[in-house]
Amino acid sequence: MKSSMRPCRYSLERPVLTFILSVQGEYLKLSVEVTVGSRVIIVQHKPHFFIFDEQIGYCYQMRSIQDDVLLNWMVDNNNQITVLKDDFEEFDNEIISRLASSYQVFFSASSKKRFDYDYELVKDKLEA
């Protein structure tokens, strides 16, 4: 609607999606981080095929339809998909391993350290 319109600038840079799997007590949480260059963009809502950086007023076109679908899925779920630790193996088979084939996926057992996702590393951390 015209009343919802606001000025913005378009950039030729494209956002990159990075997924983070972290331990949260008795469950695991999958979240997404959107970066453009070295800047992390907070995405709370988004139009189809674009994201808008509210802090600097730039609009970026998504790299692919797949990126757009995944980001919409994450935004619709408040940027967190959770799974019980007991269901990790199935979650890896159905979601994480597929994401890792196309996107950078990190694992974080603490709030500060991130490691490249590795099934065996995560399994060892969950069993410890």
Give the mean model confidence (pLDDT) for residues 48-54: 91
Give the mean model confidence (pLDDT) for residues 108-122: 88
Q: Per residue in 89-102, pLDDT tens?
A: 999 999 999 999 99
Residue 111 has pLDDT above 70, yes or no: no
Q: Per residue in 4-31, pLDDT tens?
A: 777 779 999 999 999 999 998 899 999 9
Handedness of CA 115, 97, 125, 107 (dihedral sign): positive
Q: Per residue in 41-50, pLDDT tens?
A: 998 778 899 9
Q: Which residues pair with 34 in a beta bridge?
A: 17, 41
